[in-house]
C-alpha cells in the first residue's frame, strides 16, 4: 500500500510508505511502537516495554515523531497522552505547510484512525462519528480499525479539541 493523500498535504499509509515519505522530505508521524519508523526503532530500546521517562509515550526528532501505541482490543489501553501529542504534531506540520505522512504498520487502523480524528479537530469531519467514518472510508478505503482504536476514537469524538 502506498501513501494516500486524504486532503492536500495530509497522507496516510503503512510501513511501506515510509521510504517514499523520507525521500520526498515529508514530515512523518508513526502511530506505532514497531516498524521502520516506530517508537522502538527511533529510541533503540530492546526491552519489551518502552523505557519510562520523557519519551515513554512519544519521541520526536525534528519533523519525525513516533508514538508508543499498539493496536489493543481494550480502548482504555490506548493512551490519550500519545494520541493528543500526535494530533498536535500533525497540526504543527499542517500549519507550517508541510506534507505529512501519518502511518502505522499495516496502514489500516492506528494511523488512519488518528488521521480521521485530526480531520475532526480541523472541522473537516464535523458530523457524528458514524457519518464521519463513512465519509473517511470513501477517502481512504483501506481503513479497517481494530476494535480498541475504533472504540477509543468513538468515545472521544465529541470531545476532541478544535483547531481553528
CATH of domain 4-158: 3.90.190.10
pTM, whole model, 2 decimals?
A: 0.95
**pLDDT tens figures, 101-140:** 999 999 999 999 999 999 999 999 999 999 999 999 999 9
Q: What is the mean pLDDT of residues 56-76?
A: 95
pLDDT at 48 over 90: no
**pLDDT tens figures, 73-83:** 999 999 999 99
pLDDT at 156 over 90: yes
d(CA 5, CA 12): 7
* Helix ranges, the chain (H): 18-23, 39-43, 80-95, 110-121, 129-139, 147-156
pLDDT at 1 over 70: no
pLDDT of residue 135: 97
pLDDT of residue 4: 96
Confirm if 100 and 9 have CB atoms less than 8 A apart.
yes
pLDDT at 19 over 80: yes
d(CA 11, CA 59): 20
pLDDT at 162 over 80: yes
Q: Residue 49, exposed/middle/buried by CB under 10 A (0-12, 13-18, 19+)? A: exposed
Q: Over the Cα atoms of the chain, what is R_g?
A: 14
Phi, psi (5° rounding) for residue 127? -75, 180
Q: What is the mean pLDDT of residues 57-85?
A: 95
Domain boundaries, the chain: 4-158
Confirm if 29 and 101 have CB atoms less than 8 A apart.
yes
Sign of CA dihedral 35, 160, 50, 10: positive
Model confidence at 67, pLDDT cuts 50, 70, 90, reads very high
| Nearest-10 Cα torsion for 125, 93, 54, 33 | 70
pLDDT at 164 over 70: no
Model confidence at 2, pLDDT cuts 50, 70, 90, reads confident
d(CA 88, CA 80): 12
Task: Count CB neighbours of 114 within 10 A.
Answer: 26
Amino acid at each position: 500500500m502506498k501513501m494516500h493523500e486524504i486532503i492536500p498535504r495530509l497522507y496516510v499509509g503503512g510501513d511501506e510508505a515510509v521510504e517514499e515519505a523520507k525521500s520526498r522530505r515529508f514530515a512523518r508521524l508513526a502511530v506505532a511502537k514497531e516498524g521502520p519508523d516506530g517508537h522502538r526503532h527511533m529510541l533503540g530500546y530492546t526491552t519489551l516495554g518502552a523505557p519510562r521517562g520523557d519519551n515513554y509515550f512519544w519521541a520526536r526528532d525534528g519533523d519525525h515523531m513516533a508514538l508508543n501505541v499498539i493496536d489493543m482490543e481494550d480502548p482504555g489501553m490506548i493512551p490519550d497522552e500519545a494520541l493528543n501529542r500526535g494530533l498536535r504534531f500533525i497540526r504543527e506540520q499542517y500549519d507550517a505547510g508541510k506534507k505529512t505522512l501519518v502511518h502505522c504498520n499495516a496502514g489500516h487502523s492506528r494511523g488512519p484512525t488518528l488521521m480521521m480524528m485530526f480531520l475532526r479537530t480541523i472541522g473537516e469531519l464535523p458530523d457524528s462519528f458514524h457519518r464521519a467514518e463513512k465519509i473517511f472510508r470513501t477517502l481512504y478505503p483501506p481503513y479497517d480499525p481494530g476494535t480498541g482504536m475504533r472504540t477509543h476514537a468513538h468515545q472521544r469524538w465529541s470531545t476532541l479539541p478544535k483547531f481553528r
